[in-house]
Amino acid sequence: MRAVRAVAEVVHDRAGGTASLVTIAADVPRLARDDHPGAEVVSVEVAELLGRGWALLSAASVQAVGRLPCPAGWSVRGLDVRGRIVIGTGVEVLYDGDLGPDLPAYWSAGLAAQGGYLIVCVAGDGVDLTRTDLVDHLAWARGRGQVVAARVPVLPTSEFPAPD
């Protein structure tokens, strides 16, 4: 079974805009390749989400994430009392886990500034969320077309299942 990790971040702009993002990546990505000469290896997750209305994210700026699509059926449930978050649709789960012990400063402000939407990013091949140079690494991945993203509504915590 593949492990999936998530990392939370907050982006700001000079005009005072803020947005909260979660980037998800599998420890072992699923890759596919066409047999045609010159065909590139692509991430199955990235290709699938592009086909379902998500968009490539080339830069993590407040302006860029504000223009992302909001594909129908997706939602974020959480954070619950244990810091757990669930991202998915009514029939599938993209991520079910925690975002670490400490959310970045201005996390709640970033959600509020985006109208209750979380920017959910899914990274493809070669993205390692455990790197010490994570900010630069994610910028590199976005610049190479390895990150898709969408604006996903955050449901109120009252709609989240109670802890066991």
Encode pLDDT of 32-80 as tens digits.
556 666 655 566 677 788 888 999 888 888 888 889 999 999 999 877 6
Provide the residue ranges of all domains of the chain, joining segments of one domain with +. 4-26+42-155
pTM for this entry? 0.82
Q: What is the pLDDT of residue 1?
A: 36
- Contact present, 95 and 88 (Cβ < 8 Å): yes
3-class secondary structure, 113: helix
Q: How many CB atoms lie within 10 A of CB 2?
A: 8
Q: Please state, in angstroms and rounded to a whole number, the distance separating the CA atoms of residues 27 and 8.
A: 17
CA distances from 144 to 59, 126, 152 (A): 10, 11, 23
Q: What is the pLDDT of residue 163?
A: 44
Q: Please state, in angstroms and rounded to a whole number, the distance separating the CA atoms of residues 8 and 99.
A: 6
pLDDT tens sequence across 16-27? 889 988 888 876
Give how far the C-alpha of residue 48 lies from the chain's centroid of Cα atoms, to the nearest Å.
Answer: 14
pLDDT tens sequence across 97-125? 888 767 888 888 888 888 989 999 988 77
Q: Please state, in angstroms and rounded to a whole number, the distance separating the CA atoms of residues 70 and 67.
A: 9
- Contact present, 85 and 5 (Cβ < 8 Å): no
Assess whether pLDDT exceeds 90 at residue 144.
no
H and E: helices and strands count for the chain: 4, 10
- pLDDT band at residue 160 using 50, 70 and 90 as cut-offs: very low
